[in-house]
Structure 1
């Protein structure tokens, strides 16, 4: 727009003539430069001058023809709008062109939006299990309103998962991870967030929940895994260890570190246990 206003002194009433002038001057700059160089150096070559002039004229003609072709429907639409004919369908071919243009822009905008959504999902979701990944989990917690930054954070580790991969193969390991993620997601509240923290570790944020409630929920999940196992290692149902820490809106990394310490305590105590950041309890 600034360039349009800056060139308004060139044929203010005719955009076509304004474009013609700019095109003519710009395409003749190489020829003008050659002439100035030739006069200054005294080494003007007639054959080169004629060839450059001919190519400049041809280039100018092609540019002007293209500009004219592009401006014709736009000027026709402008004239129709001024006469009030566009709305009545006086220029259906121009209307079709505009509709095609807007349709193309709309498709491009939708495709761009879908691509952005895909990239966002790829950055915040675990590709294997379909639940949130570590980045998505942390982003969800940090973006919550201040009055909703309270609850419990649990870090969960599948017991002896390496044996699943070693004895049954990585395909079975992937199946176990997906089944475990699905089991966790199905047995927590809709307000809670389940994420794959990395490898065989998972994280859960229990919204507006105290340690007793979070511990009870995890104990219920552990009991169901024993009754309806997602897999077995050496004839024993696959279990998990968990660490729970209270989060009251402070540094979330501190709460996660405390939950990680509690998880370590649970594993050191024999696994298949739920530990709190301060006390240790056998899973029920």
Structure 2
């Protein structure tokens, strides 16, 4: 495109004449070189000059024929645009076919990039709550540098969520999920990661936190849920249970499994509580 714009001073309104000029000059360079050499040395052979001239003319004709064939689709498109404009179809003003095509390619490329970004966002974001989904959460953890891959993983489950759907309908259930996601996101630090793990389960990565800090943070959210409930079931504020596990940057699958076991203990212990995963090695 830069070369195209740089040659605009040669027949600026005609791409075909511009190409013809460039082709003519390029194909005649050997002949011009031979003339300069012959005039400077006084050794121009007539037979060689005629043969070189014929070869140049043939080469020019072949090049012009090929260029014309390549330009036919472009000019057909330009004619179609011109006819559409004459028929009253609203079209942008175009000063040059190539510039128009280039602008069209740029628009398509931009739209493709936007589409790819939308698809990436859809694949990594939960559409209901607007926070990361499981895939996005794991991708964010995987993208962390080694020095930041440490802290606590928490798996959270909304207590008696099925009753919300059964008693008040799925619309209320969706509202509770969205409100809970907003509550979690608002009360976490910027460095912490929050995601919808699936269904009524959520996941949090507390970066550079020990279990005491993560447990205190979740207890603060639980207290907020009681004082400013996002909904109720049988007159009781909606609560949550959570399981916490320390993560030192090792096997994530094992860490999530241990956090899930701690969540199960919290559920079995009466719900509305936070449990920590048992240490891997217990001192005797």
Q: Return the TM-score normalized by structure 2.
A: 0.68
How many equivalent residue pairs?
211
Matches within 5 A, 1:105-120: 105-120=105-120
SS at 1:135 equivalent: helix
Q: 2: distance between equivalents of 1:197 and 1:165?
A: 18
Q: Answer yes or no: is 1:128 the counterpart of 2:128.
A: yes
Q: Answer yes or no: is 1:15 the counterpart of 2:63.
A: yes
Q: 2: distance between equivalents of 1:99 and 1:67?
A: 15
SS at 1:202 equivalent: strand
Query: Which string of whole-angstrom CA distances, capped at 9 and with x for unpartnered residues, describes residues 196-243 of structure 1?
Result: 000000000111111111100000000000000000001100000000
SS at 1:204 equivalent: strand
Cα distance, 1:135 vs structure 2: 0.5
Q: Return the TM-score normalized by structure 1.
A: 0.68
Matches within 5 A, 1:148-167: 148-167=148-167
Q: 1: distance between equivalents of 2:155 and 2:98?
A: 56
Q: 1: distance between equivalents of 2:170 and 2:272?
A: 22
Q: Answer yes or no: is 1:235 the counterpart of 2:235.
A: yes
* Structure 1: tracts of 5 or more residues without a match: 1-7, 24-63, 73-92, 280-284
Q: 2:88 maps to which residue?
A: none
Cα-Cα RMSD: 2.8
SS at 1:229 equivalent: coil
Query: Which string of whole-angstrom CA distances, capped at 9 and with x for unpartnered residues, describes residues 133-169 of structure 1?
Result: 0000111111211111111110000000000000000
SS at 1:174 equivalent: helix
CA contact (8 A) 2:94 2:100 kept: no
SS at 1:128 equivalent: coil
Q: 1:177 maps to which residue?
A: 177
CA contact (8 A) 1:155 1:203 kept: yes
Q: 2: distance between equivalents of 1:188 and 1:65?
A: 61
Q: 1:208 maps to which residue?
A: 208
Q: 1: distance between equivalents of 2:161 and 2:94?
A: 66
One of 72, 82, 95 as aligned partner of 1:66: 72
Cα distance, 1:67 vs structure 2: 6.1
Q: 2: distance between equivalents of 1:69 and 1:187?
A: 61
Cα distance, 1:18 vs structure 2: 4.0
Cα distance, 1:69 vs structure 2: 4.4
SS at 1:126 equivalent: coil
CA contact (8 A) 2:243 2:261 kept: yes
Cα distance, 1:94 vs structure 2: 8.8
Cα distance, 1:270 vs structure 2: 0.5
Larger mean CA deviation between 142-151 and 227-236 belongs to 142-151
Q: 2: distance between equivalents of 1:192 and 1:68?
A: 54
Larger mean CA deviation between 270-279 and 258-267 belongs to 270-279
Cα distance, 1:65 vs structure 2: 9.3
Query: Which string of whole-angstrom CA distances, capped at 9 and with x for unpartnered residues, describes residues 63-111 of structure 1?
Result: x9936947x9xxxxxxxxxxxxxxxxxxxx9963333223212211110
Q: 2: distance between equivalents of 1:121 and 1:170?
A: 25
SS at 1:241 equivalent: strand
CA contact (8 A) 1:16 1:68 kept: no
Q: 1:94 to 1:110 in 2, by over 3 A?
A: closer
SS at 1:272 equivalent: coil
Q: 1:77 maps to which residue?
A: none
Q: 1:12 to 1:216 in 2, by over 3 A?
A: farther
